[in-house]
Amino acid sequence: MAIEVGDTAPDFELRDNHGRTIRLSDLRGDGRDSDADADAVNVVLVFYPFAFTSVCTDEMRALRDGLPALTADDTVLLAVSNDSVHTLRVFADQEGLEFPLLSDFWPHGEVSRAYGVFDEEKGCAVRGTFIMDKEGVVRWKIVNGLPDARDLRQYVQALDAL
């Protein structure tokens, strides 16, 4: 089932390219604790098929180069693939990627499936992007097929609308 605009984003817990655990719910506010809500951030969640492939590498480079336009004090970028943590570490180091690359390797594709962007036939995520507000509600999304790169300018426009 695909996640739609207006839905609460499914929570997840994944390890990043440095082995740190990232939990989506840790980035949310819930309106009950003003101190915790002050730490809440908007999230740009980018699913991509595999590290080191041409379109994925180009997209990650565009995100790297456009990071200042995407992230501010109240926004974080998280990129998710079905690669192992070790592969993501080498990929991030090679490409100079400073944002977290999250591994949806095992159980294979569990988070990608929860967001409705896992291609069962290919065994990887398609190109899905979800922008969530500080409460974890999806405010914008785009899902492209494997060969179709996304446009960074669309992310910036969607964030400006929050």
Q: Which amino acid is at 137?
A: V
Contact 145, 126 (CB under 8 A): yes
Which residues have CB under 8 Å from 134's CB, separation 6+?
Answer: 28, 29, 37, 40, 41, 42, 74
Beta strands 127-132 and 13-16 are: unpaired
Count of other CB atoms within 10 angstroms of residue 140: 18
Q: Choose the catalytic residue: 3, 14, 41, 56.
A: 56
Under DSSP, the state recorded for 12 is: -
56 catalytic? Reply is: yes
- CA angle at 136 for the pair 134 and 140, rounded to the nearest 5°: 95
Residues annotated as catalytic (active site), given as ranges: 56
